[in-house]
Amino acid sequence: MRNLLIFITKYNAFFLFIIFEISALVIYIKYNSFQKATFINSTNQITGNLYARVDQLKGYISLREVNDSLARENASLRGQLKTSFYIDSVAKHKVVDTVYKQQYEYIDAAVINNSINHRNNYITINKGSRAGIAKGMGVICPQGVVGKIVFVGEHFSIIQSLLHKETIISAALAGTKDLGSFSWSDNMDPHAGLLYDVSNSASPKLGELVVTSDLSLFPAGVPIGKISNLHSKTAKGSFLNMDVTIAVDFSKLQYVYVVDNKFAAEQLGLEAQQKKDE
Amino acid sequence: MSRVILLNLVRFIALVFIQVFLLKNISLYDLSTPYLYILFILLLPFEIPNLLLFILAFILGLTIDAFYDTPGLHAMACVLLAFVRILFISITVQKEGFDNEPEPTLSLMGFRWFFTYALILTLFHHFFLFVLEVFRFSEIQYTLARALLSSIFTVFLILISGLLFYKSKERK
């Protein structure tokens, strides 16, 4: 017994190393899947507020670009207003339209923390459960798809960015509606992605737009990027592979919209029911 | 004694701020990202008890994790770093012959020793960190290249900060 104690005190550094390494490993495995709530991330009071402060300062630098992009979006939205269409039928009477029911609502939020140079990138925004954000919602910006919500705090939430090794989005070619899967490329280029598992009968064209499909959690038709190379070197899936230039410039991301799908709960409930029946 | 504690506290806060608000946004060609915050562990005094060293490394790692949204990742790398530091110092440094509370700085230990010290510890930390972050064998060459280039960047910054706070009278 005495010898054992002497042995342990002599090599105490090693035993302490084992103890601390294992406790860190436990935290790593337990919390990194974002399944459980933890305070060690950027939605807690201290880190969230610090990031928000610094972001206020940084916001001034890119005011001009943000204004430009907002003005552009305003212009395109104005184009969709009823008043900007010329009505060529003579008779006009108002109908209470019950065909359309609002499916998507958009919650705007400012990006307060963002990274693009890690293998797994996360974005923190300044709205949380109080604004109606819930886990699993999609996030877009005027240019295209940004990611999905993985963790929600009271005032902040974390987005798993498109630039993440586990983000896979159901995508489609804009012209022919051929389905495929989209993921970030392996070489950490924040502008490059990969569209794979497109059926062999599809005939994609260079520069064709890649958009979200009807199967994704985003509204259909949100742009993801453009095809930049028809035959990608990366071997993934068993069908056609294409390199894609991502539409969103993540390094300049300032404002995003969180997509609240009103029918998501119903759809998920149905699909869970179906899984139970199988 | 209290001077040492205060100095290290200031160093801790300053390095975390620099890391989180400045260096986090820096990346050369998507390959090289510096992690200067490990300088805090490198510069703790020689006489620090092992237990305290591990606790400080663990706390530093968790603090960085909180800002990087990677709970546990940096903590693991920092604890490994603390262990390598203990081994390296026990092999290369004779504890006697120092006056009160010496720290392994560039000005005290000389360029050759400090360079080897910073290089070896940074390599251990970065390789562990990057391999653990990706955790996928198919991207191994890319990961190793990133770890190596990031280590060079970090060591460069460590040496610059060492020269910035160089005190010539400390050298024997």
| Inter-chain CB proximity B27 and A14 less than 8 Å | no
For residue A220, give both structure tokens.
């259909």
Which of A51, A117, A122 is the closest to B33 by Cβ? Answer: A117
| Inter-chain CB proximity A165 and B136 less than 8 Å | yes
Q: Are A124 and A48 in contact (CB under 8 A)?
A: yes
What gap in Å lies between CA A32 and CA B135, rounded to an integer?
Answer: 13
Measured between CA atoms, how close is A27 to chain B, in angstroms? 5
What residue ranges do the domains of chain A occupy? Answer: 168-248
For residue B107, give both structure tokens.
């000005």
- pLDDT tens-digit readout, B146-157: 889 899 999 999
Residues of chain A where predicted confidence (pLDDT) is lower than 70 = 31-43, 79, 81-102, 278
Exposure b/e, B20-54, CB count within 10 A at least 16 = b: bbebbeebeeebbbbbbbbbbbbbbeeebebeebb
| Inter-chain CB proximity B83 and A190 less than 8 Å | no
The pLDDT value given to residue B172: 47
The pLDDT value given to residue B170: 53
What gap in Å lies between CA A136 and CA A217, rounded to an integer?
Answer: 8
Exposure b/e, A190-209, CB count within 10 A at least 16 = b: bbbbbbbbbeeebebeeebb
Range list of H helices, A11-157: 12-31, 45-61, 63-79
User: Is A116 in the B-facing interface, judged by CB distances under 8 Å?
Assistant: yes
ipTM (interface pTM): 0.72
- pLDDT tens-digit readout, B118-172: 899 999 999 888 888 877 777 788 888 888 989 999 999 998 988 888 776 654 4
Helix (H, G, I), strand (E, B) or coil at A133: coil
User: Is B139 in the A-facing interface, judged by CB distances under 8 Å?
Assistant: yes
| Inter-chain CB proximity B83 and A187 less than 8 Å | no
- pLDDT tens-digit readout, B7-40: 888 989 999 988 888 888 787 877 788 898 998 9
The pLDDT value given to residue A273: 79
Dihedral in degrees, nearest 10, Cα atoms B21, B23, B24, B25: 90
| Inter-chain CB proximity A118 and B33 less than 8 Å | yes
Report how far apart, in Å, the C-alpha atoms of B31 and of each of B26, B28, B130, B159 are: 10, 6, 11, 21
- pLDDT of B95 higher than 70: no
- pLDDT tens-digit readout, B49-83: 888 888 989 899 888 888 887 788 888 899 889 88
Exposure b/e, A88-108, CB count within 10 A at least 16 = b: eeeeeeeeeeeeeeeeeeebe
What class does CATH assign to A168-248? mainly beta
| Inter-chain CB proximity A40 and B71 less than 8 Å | yes
Which residues, in sequence order, are bridge partners of residue A210? A173, A225
Which of B25, B30, B76 is the closest to A188 by Cβ? Answer: B30
| Inter-chain CB proximity A20 and B54 less than 8 Å | yes
What residue ranges do the domains of chain B occupy? Answer: 2-22+32-170
What are the chain B neighbours of A236 within 8 Å (beta carbons)?
none
What are the chain A neighbours of B133 within 8 Å (beta carbons)?
118-120
What gap in Å lies between CA A228 and CA A189, rounded to an integer?
Answer: 14
Query: A229: how many CB neighbours lie within 10 A of its CB?
Result: 14
Query: In this structure, are strands A255-261 and A179-184 parallel, antiparallel, or unpaired?
Result: unpaired
Measured between CA atoms, how close is A123 to chain B, in angstroms? 9
User: Is A250 in the B-facing interface, judged by CB distances under 8 Å?
Assistant: no
Helix (H, G, I), strand (E, B) or coil at A113: strand
Q: Identify which of A147, A139, A152 has the alpha carbon closest to the alpha carbon of residue A260.
A: A139
